[in-house]
């Protein structure tokens, strides 16, 4: 890896990593594997061509912004910008996803259900501790770790400020877990429909597009209201956290964004 950043290496390996992650859920057979690998290679080629330039330009703009104070509105602007890129990326994946889904077997759907159960057990271990105080400490620790990924080491006063703010968050792991289980059941239901009916490509893509859209905007109104409250809180939290950082921490963050920008420009320009 000498002379090549972790980000560049990770991006070059992303198609393989994505394949192995998907394979862990559905256990592709010998005929599905080349189709899945080809679909992932084409999607990442599209992403490098269509989205990396916009991402690198955004990183360039963010380097200037991160040196000054910000507002919750600006934090939400960046959150919505990322969501829009995610919507574009998901739409690009719809045709290949629909094609692969219709090629799965009932046994593979059962395999996915078992993998979901395993993932849910891991989720419970990470987020659903019986002791509320333990959950609170874990949430504060995760928030500190995420902040330090950008700003570097936080001092004790900043850590205490994060812990106090996290304690007022509307985040509720049980609510999140409930929505997660709903989405898992929706996924299984869609797969059973596609595997059982083998619809025409247009119908399959329409069904997959609706399913993907529900990840961005839940069809369950109580969860939508919860998600909106949490997003507004997180925008305010991000702005407050940023405004409490030191000039040195902001400079470190700008330098990190610059490295990410250069790495992704190199990836976008690669043959």
Residue 237 lies in a domain: yes
Residue 116 lies in a domain: yes
Domain ranges, residue 136? 6-269
Could you report the per-residue pLDDT of 143-175, keeping only the tens digit for each? 999 999 999 999 999 999 999 999 999 999 999
Q: Which pLDDT does position 62 carry in this prediction?
A: 97
Please name the residue that has the structure tokens 């790495």.
Answer: 263
First to last CA, the chain: 19
pLDDT at 227 over 50: yes
Residue 2's pLDDT band, with cuts at 50, 70 and 90, is very low
Rounded Cα gap, residues 190 and 211, in angstroms:
8
Tokens of 108: 């593979």
Residue 159 lies in a domain: yes
Residue 1 lies in a domain: no
pLDDT at 136 over 50: yes
Q: Which pLDDT does position 145 carry in this prediction?
A: 97
Residue 42's pLDDT band, with cuts at 50, 70 and 90, is very high
Residue 258 lies in a domain: yes
Sign of the dihedral through C-alpha 89, 94, 96, 97? positive
Q: Which pLDDT does position 270 carry in this prediction?
A: 80
Q: What is the mean pLDDT of the chain?
A: 96
Rounded Cα gap, residues 146 and 261, in angstroms:
19
69: left (phi > 0), else alpha (psi -120 to 50), else beta? beta
Could you report the per-residue pLDDT of 69-97, keeping only the tens digit for each? 999 999 999 999 999 999 999 999 999 99
Q: Which pLDDT does position 87 carry in this prediction?
A: 97
Residue 271's pLDDT band, with cuts at 50, 70 and 90, is low
Mean pLDDT for the stretch of residues 30-37: 98
Could you report the per-residue pLDDT of 94-134, keeping only the tens digit for each? 999 999 999 999 999 999 999 999 999 999 999 999 999 99
Residue-by-residue DSSP string for 138-178: HHHHHHHHHHHHHH----HHHHHHHHHHHTT----HHHHHH
Q: Which pLDDT does position 81 carry in this prediction?
A: 97
Q: Which pLDDT does position 6 carry in this prediction?
A: 76
Tell me which DSSP letter residue 126 carries: H
Residue 9's pLDDT band, with cuts at 50, 70 and 90, is confident
Residue 132 lies in a domain: yes
Q: Which pLDDT does position 7 carry in this prediction?
A: 83
Q: Which pLDDT does position 269 carry in this prediction?
A: 87
Whether 179 and 223 have beta carbons less than 8 Å apart is answered as: yes
pLDDT at 204 over 90: yes
Domains in the chain, number = 1
């Amino acid at each position: 890896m000498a002379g090549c950043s972790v980000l560049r290496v990770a991006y070059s390996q992303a198609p393989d990593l994505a394949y192995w992650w998907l394979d862990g859920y559905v256990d592709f057979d010998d005929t599905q594997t080349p189709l899945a690998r080809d679909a992932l290679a084409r999607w990442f080629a599209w992403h490098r061509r269509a989205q990396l330039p916009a991402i690198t330009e955004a990183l360039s703009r963010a380097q200037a912004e991160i040196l000054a104070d910000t507002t919750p509105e600006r934090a939400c602007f960046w959150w919505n910008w990322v969501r829009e890129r995610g919507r574009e990326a998901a739409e690009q994946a719809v045709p290949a996803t629909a094609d692969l889904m219709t090629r799965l077997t009932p046994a593979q759907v059962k395999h996915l259900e078992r993998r979901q159960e395993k993932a849910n057990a891991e989720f419970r271990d990470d987020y659903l501790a019986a002791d509320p105080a333990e959950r609170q400490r874990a949430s504060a620790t995760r928030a500190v770790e995420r902040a330090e990924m950008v700003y570097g080491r936080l001092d004790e006063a900043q850590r205490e400020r994060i812990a106090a703010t996290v304690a007022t968050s509307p985040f509720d792991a049980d609510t999140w877990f409930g929505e997660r289980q709903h989405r898992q059941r929706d996924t299984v239901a869609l797969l059973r429909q596609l595997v059982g009916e083998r619809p025409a490509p247009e119908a399959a893509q329409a069904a997959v597009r609706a399913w993907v859209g529900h990840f961005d905007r839940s069809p369950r109104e109580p969860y939508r209201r919860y998600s909106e409250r949490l997003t507004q809180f997180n925008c305010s939290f991000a702005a407050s956290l940023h405004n409490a950082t030191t000039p040195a921490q902001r400079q470190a963050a700008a330098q990190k964004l610059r490295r990410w920008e250069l790495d992704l420009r190199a990836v976008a320009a690669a043959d």
